[in-house]
């Protein structure tokens, strides 16, 4: 295993030592309770909101099973990946098991249909109502949770765009039913736009976890329809209890392998490539994903502070086209116009920035000072 992966896992394990006596799964977020009519019981839910979540942009949502074990680790991992630009801001919704109900709620043919109904009819609508969510959801589970994640993706591909299934326990008596479910759903739905990541540890029981997952991969190689994208990974040094964390990590890396905007710090960058990237992400995730305003402004500023004002102008203009509601991009466009002695356009841009900032209840002191300097000729 690569050194940086080992370091990541070591950091993620630190909370075990810190909170071993009194573990608090909500230390990275908060908890809510839902009175479920479907399950006829009250359920506790953990929620982590991304630090860089934009008020103007919706966030995708990751629904994590076995949250009483994995929530802290998953929240730290999402923060790590997001901070490094590897994935977009993601809201984490952790679903702890009710006492004594794990093998009921998560197993198809036992209670999984009822539990899936709880997610679709009660939990997801409440999360969508309470947070600015995007119409793209991921479900992740380990062991029996991996079975449920697989089941949920097949039963409701319009609800979950992706599933990350860590070391799923596909016991022999369940394999024939599983293949039938795959075949039934593949025959029923011809158009797919879903991602299915599955993993096992190389130290798991060869004739149990590994063989059955190997066999499923052979099945999917010949049966998976176009648009049902899947990956299967065997994790080094991993036994059954270890692989939950690295599986989530590798699953997210695969899902967002083409999300990261690989912009060179050499400028100018290619606006047309950025537009193509946006269209590609929209096709993949099913909604419009805009390049963050901060990225566009940072790149344009490289030209601006090099006093290459004519070259920086198209990039600031592109930022305002991509984020017309953002006061800051209009402010920077106004600065660029001022540097080109285009006073009227500079005044128009800063006036728009002030209007947008007031509508968002933001402080406008800096913008108004800039406008006054423009009108008085202090440049």
**Cα end-to-end span (Å), the chain:** 57
| Residue-level pLDDT at 3 | 44
User: What pLDDT digit, counting tens, does each position of 308-329 carry?
Assistant: 999 999 999 999 998 999 999 9
Q: Using alpha carbons, select from 152, 154, 177, 167 the residue that is nearest to residue 198.
A: 167
| Residue-level pLDDT at 11 | 46
Within 10 angstroms of residue 251's Cβ, the number of other Cβ atoms is 25
| Residue-level pLDDT at 190 | 80
- What string of H, E and C letters represents the secondary structure of 10-46? HHHHHHHHHCCCCCCCCCCCEEEEEEECCCCEEEEEE
Token representation of residue 211: 């063989």
- CATH 3.40.50.1820 residue ranges for the chain: 3-255
Token representation of residue 220: 């999917």
Taking each continuous run of H as one helix and of E as one strand, the counts in the chain are 15, 8
CB-based contact 147:163 (threshold 8 Å): no
The CATH number that domain 3-255 falls under is: 3.40.50.1820
Tallying the residues shown for the chain, one arrives at: 379
Rounded-to-10 torsion of CA 276, 282, 288, 291: -40
* Cross-strand pairs, 90: 60
Q: In angstroms, rounded to a whole number, what is the distance separating the alpha carbons of residues 224 and 246?
A: 25
Distances in Å between the alpha carbon of 373 and those of 227, 341, 378? Answer: 56, 13, 5
Q: In angstroms, rounded to a whole number, what is the distance separating the alpha carbons of residues 206 and 198?
A: 16
* Cross-strand pairs, 140: 64, 164
Fold of 271-376: 1.25.40
Q: In angstroms, rounded to a whole number, what is the distance separating the alpha carbons of residues 347 and 118?
A: 54
238 by DSSP, 3-state: which? coil
| Residue-level pLDDT at 23 | 45
**Residue 96 DSSP symbol:** P
Q: Using alpha carbons, select from 301, 302, 280 the residue that is nearest to residue 291.
A: 280
Q: Using alpha carbons, select from 347, 312, 353 the residue that is nearest to residue 331.
A: 353
- CATH 1.25.40.10 residue ranges for the chain: 271-376
Rounded-to-10 torsion of CA 276, 280, 283, 285: -130
The residues near 2 (Cβ < 8 Å, ≥ 6 apart) are none
51 by DSSP, 3-state: which? coil
The residues near 123 (Cβ < 8 Å, ≥ 6 apart) are 34, 43, 45, 63, 93, 95
| Residue-level pLDDT at 179 | 81
Question: What is the chain's pLDDT, residue by residue, as a tens digit (379 residues)?
Answer: 454 455 455 444 444 333 333 345 556 788 999 999 999 999 999 999 987 666 668 999 999 999 999 999 999 999 989 888 788 889 999 999 999 999 899 988 889 999 999 999 999 999 999 999 999 999 999 999 999 999 999 999 999 999 999 988 776 446 667 788 898 999 988 889 999 999 998 888 776 778 888 888 999 999 999 999 999 999 988 788 888 889 999 999 999 998 876 555 455 567 888 888 888 999 999 998 888 787 788 888 989 999 999 999 999 999 999 899 999 999 999 999 999 999 999 999 999 999 999 998 999 999 999 999 998 876 5
Token representation of residue 130: 């309470």
């Amino acid at each position: 295993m690569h050194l940086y992966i080992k370091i990541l896992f070591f950091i993620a394990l630190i909370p075990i030592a810190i909170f071993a006596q009194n573990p608090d799964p909500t230390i990275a977020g908060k908890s809510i309770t839902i009175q479920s009519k479907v399950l006829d019981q009250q359920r506790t839910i953990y929620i982590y909101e991304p630090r860089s979540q934009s008020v103007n942009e919706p966030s995708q949502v990751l629904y994590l099973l076995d949250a009483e074990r994995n929530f802290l680790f998953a929240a730290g991992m999402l923060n790590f990946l997001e901070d490094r630009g590897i994935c977009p801001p993601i809201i984490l919704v952790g679903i702890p098991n009710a006492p004594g109900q794990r093998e009921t709620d998560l197993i198809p043919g036992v209670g999984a249909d009822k539990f899936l109904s709880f997610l679709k009819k009660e939990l997801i609508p409440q999360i969508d109502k309470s947070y600015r969510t995007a119409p793209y959801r991921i479900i992740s589970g380990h062991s029996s949770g991996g079975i449920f994640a697989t089941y949920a993706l097949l039963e409701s591909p319009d609800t979950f765009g992706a599933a990350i299934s860590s070391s799923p326990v596909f016991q022999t008596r369940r394999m024939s039913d599983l293949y039938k479910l795959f075949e039934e759903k593949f025959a029923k739905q011809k158009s797919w736009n879903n991602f299915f990541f599955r993993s096992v540890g190389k130290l798991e029981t060869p004739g149990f976890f590994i063989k059955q997952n190997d066999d499923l991969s052979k099945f999917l190689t010949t049966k998976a329809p176009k648009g049902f994208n899947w990956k299967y990974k065997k994790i080094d040094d991993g036994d059954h209890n270890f692989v939950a964390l690295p599986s989530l990590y590798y699953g997210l890396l695969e899902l967002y392998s083409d999300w990261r905007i690989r912009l060179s710090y050499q400028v100018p960058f290619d606006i047309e490539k950025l537009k193509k990237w946006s269209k590609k992400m929209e096709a993949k995730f099913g909604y419009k994903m805009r390049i963050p305003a901060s990225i566009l402004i940072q790149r344009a500023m490289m030209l601006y502070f090099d006093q290459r004002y004519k070259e920086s102008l198209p990039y600031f203009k592109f930022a305002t086209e991509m984020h017309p509601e953002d006061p800051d991009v209009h402010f920077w466009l106004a600065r660029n116009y001022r540097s080109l002695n285009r006073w009227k356009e500079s005044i128009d841009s800063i006036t728009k920035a002030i209007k947008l900032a007031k509508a968002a209840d933001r402080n406008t002191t800096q913008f108004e000072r800039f406008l006054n300097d423009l009108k008085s000729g202090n440049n």
